[in-house]
Amino acid sequence: MSGDPLLAALEATSVGAAGDGPVPTMEATGTGVCCPGHRRSRPDPLATLNPPMPTRTARRSATPARLQRENTHDEIYEKIYIAILEHRLHPGTKLVEERLAEIFGVSRARIREVLARLAHEQIVELIPQRGAYVAKPTIEQALDVFEARRLIEPAVMRRLIETLTPEKLARLRQHQELEFDARRRDDKRAVIRLSGEFHSLAAELAGNTALARSMRELSVLTCLMIFLYDAPTSTSCRADEHSELIDAIAKRDSARAERLMLEHLDHIESSMNLEVASEDVDLEAIFGG
């Protein structure tokens, strides 16, 4: 269609609009394959954290076929959310209401509802008279995100260990298998998404919905920050560090899990270039005076 990367990205996530069938891959690496596979093979635990905003129910006169074709609020939300998480939609990208409505085959009102929800979660920025944009966290906001994560995530570890069951441990290990698999395939998009989701999953399994909701938002903001500020060599969380965390959780060693989590966050933060630009830049040095 057009060369618009937004459209391209959204088209890639919107084919198969009924929500069944695999999301087509954007490239041969198989991006997206593990996403519908792992998201749809069982109920998405994270979906329960974000109950749909009240949407008008489908028009009574709609035929079943029409209903089937229409994307629900949750499906559209999830597709945009994952496209952002996987860096297919970049920070600062304009989300044109009209085009999204066409792509997803829904009304602009429905798109507005989804964008409002994403804006509420700080993933999207709504600018009056200009429209909706994928958020572009500043360095100061990025530092705030890490500060919040340092407060929240040790608490998540503590609570998860206190309430640990064999099922919860199995879920973490299952998730890690997906991460390993994405790394083996060198599927960078899936790796970034799954790394972030590891943290949201841990918070969700810990059983505190307020912590889990915050963690989900902080994870996606971290994904945006990785895109904006990551040093070119690193991608996201180190896989072995998630293994160590799971190991400490399995042993119910709360002190160790909390310490490992703080170290893990240090590593993620130090892999980003988050130095606030100095006011007095040496322009002569930069331009060879």
Q: Which residues contribute to the site for Zn ion (CB under 5 A)? A: 237
Which DSSP category does 15 fall into? S
Residue sitting closest to Zn ion (CB): 237
**Residue 157 or 237 having the CB closest to Zn ion:** 237
Phi-psi region of 32 (alpha: psi -120 to 50; beta: other; left: phi over 0): left
**Residue 71 or 236 having the CB closest to Zn ion:** 236
**Residue 100 or 156 having the CB closest to Zn ion:** 156
Neighbours of 288 (CB within 10 A): 5
Shortest distance, position 245 Cβ to Zn ion, whole Å: 8
**Residue 17 or 191 having the CB closest to Zn ion:** 191
Shortest distance, position 238 Cβ to Zn ion, whole Å: 8
Do residues 104 and 96 lie in contact, with contact meaning Cβ atoms separated by under 8 Å? no
Q: List residues bridging with 115 in a β-sheet.
A: none
**Residue 9 or 260 having the CB closest to Zn ion:** 260
Shortest distance, position 83 Cβ to Zn ion, whole Å: 21
CA 85 → CA 32, 159, 192, distances in Å? Answer: 11, 26, 7
Shortest distance, position 227 Cβ to Zn ion, whole Å: 16
**Residue 6 or 265 having the CB closest to Zn ion:** 265
Query: β-strand 94-95 against 124-127: which pairing, if any?
Result: unpaired
User: Which DSSP helix (H) or strand (E) runs through 215?
Assistant: helix 209-229
**Residue 206 or 237 having the CB closest to Zn ion:** 237
Shortest distance, position 18 Cβ to Zn ion, whole Å: 33
Shortest distance, position 198 Cβ to Zn ion, whole Å: 5
Exposure b/e, 220-252, CB count within 10 A at least 16 = b: bbbbbbbbbbbeeeeebbebebbebbbebbeee
Listed in sequence order, the residues at least 6 apart from 219 whose beta carbon sits closer than 8 Å to its beta carbon are 196, 197, 199, 200
CA 168 → CA 5, 171, 177, distances in Å? Answer: 39, 5, 14
* CA–CA dist 135, 89 (Å, integer): 10
Angle between helices 5-14 and 73-85 (to 10 degrees): 130
Shortest distance, position 72 Cβ to Zn ion, whole Å: 30
